[in-house]
Amino acid sequence: MQKTIRIQVPQSLHQVPVISTLISEYKLIVNIRGAILDQKAIGGGWFDLLLDGEDVDIEQSILYLKDKGVEIWNEH
């Protein structure tokens, strides 16, 4: 299954490897299709991600992101 999501990473999580965790813990292939993130991003940064993996792993990874405080703007 593939799912496209846009996430906003709050500045408080800039040092947390959230995308790396999607790969290592949830066994997903993650393609970054767009991003804005710099050290002075007061409101955080955003990423357009294409997630590829098993349905259950994608759903669990989305729950992980929400639990961490990452805002998910769109899910397709």
Hey, what domains does the chain have and what are their CATH numbers? 2-75 (3.30.70.260)
Phi and psi torsions of 48, nearest 5°: -95, 120
Tokens of 16: 């947390």
pTM for the model:
0.86
**Rounded CA separation 1/35 (Å):** 22
* Residue-level pLDDT at 13: 85
Over residues 12-68, the pLDDT tens digits come to 888 889 999 999 999 999 999 999 876 665 666 789 999 999 999 999 999 999 999
